[in-house]
Structure 1
Amino acid sequence: MRCLNFLPLILLIILSSKVLSQDIFDIESNCDPQDQVCNKIEQEFVNAGKIISNNLILNAKILVELIYEPLDDDTFGQTTPVLRIHDSPDTVQRLYPTALLKQLNITFEPDFVDIQVSINSNANNSYWFPGDPDIQSTQIDVSELALHELIHGIGFTSTWDFPEDQKFINFLTPRLNGLEDNGDPEDPIIFDGFFETVFDGFLVYIGSPTRNFITNITNSINSFTAKGTEFDNMDALNSKLLETQQQNVELMLTYATTKSSLGFLPTGSQDAIILDTSNPEFDFASSISHVSQDDYENTTEFLMTPHQKEGVTLQAQIQQTGNTPGGGIGPNLRSILGTLGYTINPNPPNNTNSNFQ
């Protein structure tokens, strides 16, 4: 099994040339009209958008840039949602995907796209499409891949990561200043806060009977100095952070690399959804931003596990896990999306894609 990755950024550049507009999702790709594989991938993203549109009540277009390009051998796809700072209901400023802000009718400075997805052009032999002969043991269903990546793009994403200054790899923080790139680490930097995503705002530690919200750690981290404080460089900022917050930032790395330590607690629920923290070496592309493989890969919540099963189609997995309505989007995932702020369609159709095989 190979990994499905996401990489949140703030600013993106359009590289694509062709647009397909279907329902709420506008898919813009760099596919050559003669490239059959690329165009079939694009169509599966259109179909995935329809599935999401049938699970959520969406009212504003979501712009998706699909880039077909070489990626690492162990990666089928990676997704980059555009993020903007916005006040959460608890008055804490967090990073929201623009795809969600549009549905909330929030005014913000627009970008060219809301979601950027890269699909590995070196893995063509591993791709199976609805309508193909029986799926082989080394193939993955692109319809599932497309749905998985778009779910990351609309908000299933965390910013907890190692600091940009690579001298510090023994602790995690949310995104410094809300920016993916704070410039040269040797340049002076003004501290404006560490920013969680809206998804991060519902993380809880589940390794003890008391459910402790991880946002409390973020609040503590942000108290290490006043906003507007200028530091000589990134090293100086991180060193100052460790003077008072070393226990918290190192604790977060422990949580993120200890199995069954972190969960997502949906609004109104007492039961946290277990997130992926099984890798003893923190992996930004996988850790936290997926559900637990061991707990959910054979359940209705298989879609957002970090490793997609080979040799089985999306439709087969839906049937094997009880044929739950939603087209692969299970009840827990729907509750996560509702908690983030989307309006949920209470009665999604059983089969949201007529092309399923």
Structure 2
Amino acid sequence: MTAEQVDIRYIMLHEILHGLGFISSWAAYFENEASPFRSLIEGIIDRDELQLVTPSPYWYINQQMGPIFVTGFQPTMIFDKFLYINNPQSNTSTPESLASVGFDMQNFCVQDNQAFIINFVQEFNRSNQSRTANRLWTCMSEEGTLSFHFPPAAIDNSTYNTNTYLNSTYTTMKLLTGDQALTSHMELSDRNFRPGISISHLDETYNTTPDFILTASYIRGERLEDIVEETYGNIPAIYYNQTINGTITQHQYKSAIGPGILRMLDSMGYSTVLSNTNYTTTGNVKSGKIPSICDDKNNNHGMAQATKTPTASDGLSSSCHLGDIALWGVVLSSVLLF
């Protein structure tokens, strides 16, 4: 491997983790030059009024190749439930929950001619929510302002509770923010616009830790297993217990999926070897969001189903090779419990 090469397994695991839920719906949908919305309003609306960070818009096309209409904002992703923002210009040090901000954003909606994308942005800039969206832009333009907050471990004997290093280290994790984060073309292509992907990475300070796999900059010139050995050599050994056929065995945790990333997965509902959480539900999952009139308006614009806003549930890409899936199924099964 040359000094400029990146281990393909490193890249694959990084992208698979995004697919497992490390993706935010918060982004600069109207300012990012890679966004399809930007070209429709560029030169018509002042750029200062496009500096807004919002959840994914609800949008539709009136007819094939017709104008784009935006009615409001979609519910945010599970990843976003745990995100908190610090305002460097505020006198208080208490971080603000993006989950709560997202609920408020979803209370803004328009219909009919007001939903034409130019009119929508102008209407939104007259709303109270736009001030919040602009404040988020300002905050996320500075480094170290966004973090993932871990909820308490679901079980008392979780390794995150019993291991002193894990318990003191993993209370929050900083995400990627800064001057370039909101306008970055990171992991984007002409046919694949995922603006929230930029902040869906760990801060660059994690690049020398076991959680390196989800930083934005790939480590070059080293095999994945060598990077793992180097980064885990900087921390105390992590051990966990497994019960097999009634026998308790102890194992050392040393995976390319770092313990912080694994705890993020656990927070989002995965059972992992460091927590072994048994997540169950009766099927009656309650939302913390108060019903809004916008819930009906965003889903009842009268357009054909083929022209509605695409969502994550509309289908998964079939571009992955089955062999690759099988390979990383083995890696993931070593740290996730299914």
How far apart, CA to CA, are the structure 2 residues paired with 1:188 and 1:147? 35
Give the direction of change, closer, same or farther, for the CA distance of 1:278–1:189 in structure 2 (3 Å limit). Answer: closer
Q: 1:291 aligns with which of 202, 211, 220?
A: 202
1:327 to 245, 250, 255: 255
Q: Tell me the alpha carbon deviations over residues 272-300 of structure 1, each in whole angstroms, 9 at most, x when there is no partner.
A: 2100003435123652110001x200011
Which of 97, 117, 127 is the matching residue for 1:234? 117
Residue pair 2:25, 2:56 contacting (<8 A) in 1 also = yes
Q: CA deviation at 1:251?
A: 1.3
Contact 1:256–1:287, Cα closer than 8 Å, also in 2: no
Whether 1:136 aligns to 2:2 is yes
Q: CA-to-partner distance for each residue in 1:195-248, whole Å, 9 max, x for gaps? A: 31111121101456212111222222222347x676340111121111122211
> Aligned partners of 1:262, 1:219: CA distance in 2, in Å?
18
Q: Is 2:55 the partner of 1:198?
A: no
Q: What is the CA deviation profile of residues 73-124 of structure 1, one whole-angstrom value per residue up to 9, with x for unaligned ones?
A: xxxxxxxxxxxxxxxxxxxxxxxxxxxxxxxxxxxxxxxxxxxxxxxxxxxx
Distance 1:281 1:203, change over 3 A: closer
**Larger strand percent:** 1
Letter in 2 for 1:199: F
Question: Which residue does the alignment assign to 1:160?
Answer: 26
In 2, distance between residues paired with 1:199 and 1:288?
11
**Which one of 30, 44, 69 corresponds to residue 189 of structure 1?**
69
The answer to whether residue 219 in structure 2 is matched with residue 309 in structure 1 is yes
User: 5+ residue gaps in structure 1?
Assistant: 1-134
Aligned residues: 212
Separation in structure 2 between the aligned mates of residue 223 and residue 236 of structure 1, nearest angstrom: 17
- Matches of 1:140 and 1:190, distance apart in 2: 40
Structure having the higher Rg: 2
Change (3 A) 1:165 1:307: same
**Kindly tell me: are residues 258 and 186 of structure 1, through their superposed partners in 2, closer, same or farther at Cα, counting changes over 3 Å?**
farther
Using structure 2 for the length normalisation, give the TM-score: 0.56
Partner deviation per Cα, 1:292-351 (whole Å, 9 max, x = no partner): 01x200011101000101112211111111266252111110111111111222389xxx
Gap change, CA 1:216 and 1:140, over 3 Å in 2: same
TM-score w.r.t. length of structure 1: 0.53
Evaluate the alpha carbon distance shift between residue 186 and residue 201 of structure 1 in structure 2; reply closer, same or farther with a 3 A threshold: farther
Question: What SS class does the counterpart of residue 195 from structure 1 fall into?
Answer: coil
Q: Which has the higher helix share?
A: 2
AA matched with 2:177: T
Question: How far, CA to CA, are the matches of 1:190 and 1:286 in structure 2?
Answer: 21
How many Å separate the matches in 2 of 1:182 and 1:175? 16
Does residue 1:221 correspond to 2:90, yes or no?
A: no
Q: Aligned-pair RMSD on alpha carbons?
A: 2.9
